[in-house]
Structure 1
């Protein structure tokens, strides 16, 4: 799960970030609405946690622009405003949920998980030929045999399984598996792909290198 947090209070942002990471979530943090739109273009985000009282364009305007573009990304609003009118306004603009400060972190986590569950069809297992990925247990199997993968190898393979028969660039892989602001090199992606290839060699699938473009996971014919 990849969360974009838009919060200009650094103390609140740091606290939320720490707890969401402890839940195994990837999280990007920006402090204003314009940077939020930049982050949404650079990373594959599952949900946005959005403060209303932002400098420049406020959270209401961010939601309005997002929905006017046809973007259905789940949005959870955070605000110190607790009036019914503000809540209704945010929801009418297209926000999916609303949480008033101060709030309990467990409630925030529960609401995030609930919104993502509602927005994404639940897929427990990804399968291609003899390769199976169990997204609940984070286990990979080749012809029924468990394959040991590192955390990043799993993330790369899971992303490629979601993009079967599509060409994905190294940068797309990086953007999909890492929070914005963290970094791995393009060469590191090559290493992960090489390791994955050797581990799934007997599954009847292959990761094909498309020179100058990236990689494509496909069934071996």
Structure 2
């Protein structure tokens, strides 16, 4: 069963949406203002966030920006009465994944929620695993507060792994992310993985880059490993 959070200050609309979503087997939590919505997002996991733009206490754009800045990759569907392209651009700049202008058909809302719930957002600006943090805005990488430098290829490789973390990424997926259809010689990925491991793991006590036999590679915290 999908789980979503609705942040909407129009109580009548919120009640209608919650009832309809539950008929579609989508569980819906509710917050009436931006501050409460942000708090719920930090306390629970949701498949999708339905976020109104005009909210009391903290507007939807600010909620969206703060979630992305913290590394939250929950897909966000912004609900708004504003239909100007400039308003939509502001929403996408803040980190929303999709936009639905009020009034909208309930069926369309459900279709978009189900589509968004199948993936994590590509709009997140901070990727992390344990004490490793990659800031996509400032293009900085740190572990235990220490700055780490990577080549452009190493950066793309790590970003691909972090976006999937803790899931496994196959060799083919990594090669596609790095070189598309123009594959280099067979040892190139091995060399880049060695250099990445040397940069993010060797100076530290616990490894984050793992080779998963016959499956691929994963960035993850080992069981029992301290996350900070």
Q: Normalising by structure 2, what TM-score?
A: 0.51
Determine the C-alpha separation between the residues in 1 that align with 2:21 and 2:38. 21
Determine the C-alpha separation between the residues in 1 that align with 2:61 and 2:39. 17
Gaps of 5+ in 2: 122-228
Q: Answer 1 or 2: higher relative contact order, Cα 8 Å, separation at least 6.
A: 1
Aligned length: 120
Aligned partners of 2:75 and 2:119 also within 8 Å: no
C-alpha displacement at 1:119, in angstroms? 2.7
Determine the C-alpha separation between the residues in 2 that align with 1:3 and 1:103. 18
Matches within 5 A, 1:76-115: 76-115=77-116
Corresponding residue of 2:128:
none
C-alpha displacement at 1:93, in angstroms? 1.3
C-alpha displacement at 1:41, in angstroms? 2.6
Corresponding residue of 2:76:
75
Corresponding residue of 2:11:
10
Corresponding residue of 1:30:
31
Aligned partners of 2:65 and 2:94 also within 8 Å: yes
Matches within 5 A, 1:115-194: 115-119=116-120
Q: Normalising by structure 1, what TM-score?
A: 0.53
Q: Extract structure 1 runs of 4+ deviating beyond 4 A.
A: none
Give the secondary-structure state (helix, strand or coil) at the position aligned to 2:79: strand
